Amino acid sequence: MFDAIVIGSGMSGGIAAKELCERGLKTLVIERGRKLEHRTSYTDWMQPWQLPNANLMPEEELARDYPIQSKCYAVSEATRQYWVKDSEHPYSFPEDKPFHWIRGYHLGGRSIMWGRQSYRLSEMDFEANAKDGHGSDWPIRYADLAPWYSHIERFIGVSGSKEGLAQLPDGEFLPPFALNDAELQFKQAVEKSFAGRRVIPGRTANLSQAQPHHEELGRATCQNRSFCERGCSYGAYHSSLSSSLPAAERTGNLTIVTDAIAHSIIHDPKTGRATGVRIIDANTKQGRTYEAKVIFCCSSAIATAQILLNSKSEAHPHGLANSSGMVGRNLMDHLYGLTVAGVLPQGPNTFYQGRRPTGFYIPRFRNLSESGEFVRGYGYQGGAARMGWRSAALSKPGIGTELKERTRKLGPWLVFVSGFGEMLPDPNNRVTLHPTRKDQWGIPLVHIECSLGRNEHEMAKHIVADAKAMVEAAGGKVVVAGTTPGAPGLGIHEMGTACMGKDPKTSVLNKYNQAHDIRNLFITDGSAMASGGCQNPSLTYMALSARAAHHAAEFLREGRV
C-alpha cells in the first residue's frame, strides 16, 4: 500500500506528487499515457529541413485521425506525438453544441505543450460568485492562496513585471521578457488613449534567468527559440518532466506507473474512505488495483468527472463524491478565438533578436467596480512582429539575385490582440457518461453538453470592439477581426466539474480541495474551480495542488483522513 496515489501526471498531478513526496509520503503517480523522457523524447533539436512536409501534417490524416486536436495551433509534424488520435479516443457531444476537447496522453500530460502564461486570480475573482450569484461561493479567498502562489512561482520560475494592479496581483517574478519596439509603441498609444488600461509583459513560466534551485534540477535559462510546444531540452519552461517530477524523484518516495488508465476509485462503505484506484492496462487491457491512504485526482476536469461518475457503488449510486449531484456540472472554458490583428504602417524601423516565449498582456479593465451590460470581464494576450523574409519570399515566384534581395527587405509590423473572457458557471453545462457507448477499454464514453450563454455572447462583442479600438488607437489598420468566439474547449482551460464550495449540497469539495463526502479524496485539477476568472488558470491549479497536499499530509499524520 502507498501513502498516496496521484491520478494524472500533468500540471496539477506533478505538483501534487512533488509536494506529497517532499512531505515524506510514499506516492504513486498513475498516468494513462505512455512514458516520455525529458530531453530524449523531444523534437526541439529538429531543424526545418529535418521535419517532414515542412512541418505540416497531411490533410487527409488530420481529417481522419485528428479532427478535434488539429484545431489547436500547436499540432504539427514535430508535435504529433503529444496529441491523442481522436479516431482512437472518441467522445460525444450534440451537433448543435460542439465541445472541442484538446488532449495529450503521455507522462507529463499537457504540461509539455501548455502556453505557459501564468497569472494569479485576484480577490475580485474569488468573491465574484458570492457577489453576482453565479456559481458556488468559493470557500477560500485570495489571502488563503497567496502564499501558495508565491511557493509555486518560486519553484517553477515565472518571468514578469510588478504592476500594482488589484485585478492582477503581482507575484514572485524573474525578470520580464522585454516588449519589443512596436509593442512599446502600442503600449504608449493604448495607455494614453484609454484610462485604466495597461499593456504589460506577458507573465510566463519560462526561465528568463535560471536560479540555483532551477539549475539543481538541470534547468537552464530560456534560449528564446520558440520551440516550446515540442518540449524543451534546456528545461527552460516548467513542465512535470523538467521540474516537478524530478523534484519528487529525488526524495526517493516516488513511483510512476504509465499506460495505466484509471477506471474508477474504490470506496469502502464501512469506513467511508476511498481505498484505492482500479486501473486498466492500456496495452494488455487487464485490470489491477493499487491501494493508498490518500488519493489525489488530477486527471483534468473532464477526465476527473468521468472517473468519479464511473466510480458507482451501492453507497454512491450516482458516482463517488456526488451526493450534491454536482459532479460533471458547471463545465467552463474561457472565451477564445476573438482575435484582432492590424498592420502598423508607422511602426518603428527596427528589428529584434530571438523569438521570445511571450508577448504582452492587457489585464482586465471592464467591470472592476460594478457590472455594466454583462458580468465578469476579460483580458488580452498579444504581441507584435515584423513581417520579413517569409512573406516576401512567398508572395510571388522568384529565383536567384532578385529573390535574395526581396527577402532582405523587412515588411511592416503586425500587431495582434486576442481576448480571453470569463465563462460563467452553469450547471447545465455538464459532463456525463454515455448510456451505451464504451471505449476500447470498456469504460463509458464521456458525453459533453456545453454552450455559451447570453452573458458570454454579450462579452464577446465588447472583446472584439475594444481590441479594434486599441489597434486603431496605435495607428493600426485592422486586417483580421474575429466575429464570434470559438467552440468551448478551444481555450484548453476546461474546469469546474467538481467545484469547491462552502455548502456540501451545492459543491463537491471543501476549502482544502477535500471531497465533502470522502475525507481522504482530494481533487486539485481544473475540476475544483468554482469560477474561472479570465486569467490562464494553470498557476491556480498548481497553487491549489500544493496547498491541498500540505493539508492532506497534515491530516494523515493527525489521523483525520
180 part of a folded domain:
yes
What confidence category does residue 372 fall into, taking pLDDT thresholds of 50, 70 and 90? confident
Strands (E), 131-231: 158-159, 173-174, 200-201
183 part of a folded domain:
yes
| Angle, helix 142-156 to helix 538-558, in steps of 10 degrees | 100
280 part of a folded domain:
no
174 part of a folded domain:
yes
482 part of a folded domain:
yes
Q: What's the pLDDT at 321?
A: 98
| Amino acid present at 454 | R
Nearest partner of 487 among 62, 202, 94, judged by Cα: 94
Instruction: Give φ, ψ of 212 to 5 degrees.
Output: -55, -40
Q: Name residue 280's beta-bridge partners.
A: 261, 287
The per-residue pLDDT for range 168-192, each reduced to its tens digit, is 999 999 999 999 999 999 999 999 9
What's the Cα-to-Cα distance from 21 to each of 142, 223, 552, rounded to whole Å?
26, 31, 12
Q: How far is Cα 274 from Cα 251, in angstroms, rounded to an integer?
A: 26
The per-residue pLDDT for range 393-438, each reduced to its tens digit, is 666 787 888 888 877 788 899 999 999 999 999 999 999 999 999 9
Q: Name residue 273's beta-bridge partners.
A: 268
For 367, the grid coordinates are: 467591470
Query: 158 by DSSP, 3-state: which?
Result: strand
For 55, the grid coordinates are: 512541418
Q: How far is Cα 13 from Cα 60, in angstroms, rounded to an integer?
A: 35
Nearest partner of 476 among 182, 192, 200, judged by Cα: 182
Q: Which of 130-144, 276-290, 310-324, 393-407 has the lowest mean pLDDT?
A: 393-407
- DSSP H or E stretch at residue 436: strand 430-438
CA 300 to chain CA centroid, nearest Å: 9
- For the residues 131-146, what does the mean pLDDT come to? 97
The per-residue pLDDT for range 123-135, each reduced to its tens digit, is 999 999 999 999 9
For 409, the grid coordinates are: 527587405
- For the residues 39-43, what does the mean pLDDT come to? 97
Q: Are strands 254-257 and 27-30 parallel, antiparallel or unpaired?
A: parallel
339 part of a folded domain:
yes
- For the residues 34-49, what does the mean pLDDT come to? 95
Q: How far is Cα 11 from Cα 114, in angstroms, rounded to an integer?
A: 9
386 part of a folded domain:
yes
Nearest partner of 44 among 134, 102, 113, judged by Cα: 113
Structurally, the chain folds into a number of domains equal to: 1
Nearest partner of 143 among 398, 511, 516, judged by Cα: 511
555 part of a folded domain:
no
Predicted confidence (pLDDT) at residue 54 exceeds the cutoff of 70: yes
Average pLDDT in the chain: 96
Q: Are strands 254-257 and 200-201 parallel, antiparallel or unpaired?
A: unpaired
Predicted confidence (pLDDT) at residue 390 exceeds the cutoff of 90: no
Nearest partner of 104 among 115, 95, 113, 94, judged by Cα: 113
Q: Which residues contact 442 (CB under 8 A, 6 or more apart)?
A: 280, 285
The per-residue pLDDT for range 221-245, each reduced to its tens digit, is 999 999 999 999 999 999 999 999 9
Residue 376, number of CB atoms within 10 A of its CB: 24
- Print the domain residue range for 366: 169-202+335-421+452-487
* Residue count of the chain: 561
**Burial environment of residue 558 by CB neighbours within 10 A (0 to 12, 13 to 18, 19 or more):** exposed
Q: Name residue 444's beta-bridge partners.
A: 438
Q: What's the pLDDT at 397?
A: 81
CB-based contact 153:350 (threshold 8 Å): no
**Burial environment of residue 369 by CB neighbours within 10 A (0 to 12, 13 to 18, 19 or more):** exposed
Q: How far is Cα 179 from Cα 181, in angstroms, rounded to an integer?
A: 7
The terminus-to-terminus CA distance of the chain in angstroms comes to 15
Predicted confidence (pLDDT) at residue 392 exceeds the cutoff of 80: no
What's the Cα-to-Cα distance from 384 to each of 179, 182, 370, 514, rounded to whole Å?
9, 6, 32, 44
The per-residue pLDDT for range 198-213, each reduced to its tens digit, is 999 999 999 999 999 9
What's the Cα-to-Cα distance from 218 to each of 15, 36, 210, 234, 402, rounded to whole Å?
17, 17, 10, 8, 47
Q: How far is Cα 470 from Cα 342, in angstroms, rounded to an integer?
A: 10
Predicted confidence (pLDDT) at residue 391 exceeds the cutoff of 80: no
Nearest partner of 328 among 420, 434, 455, judged by Cα: 434
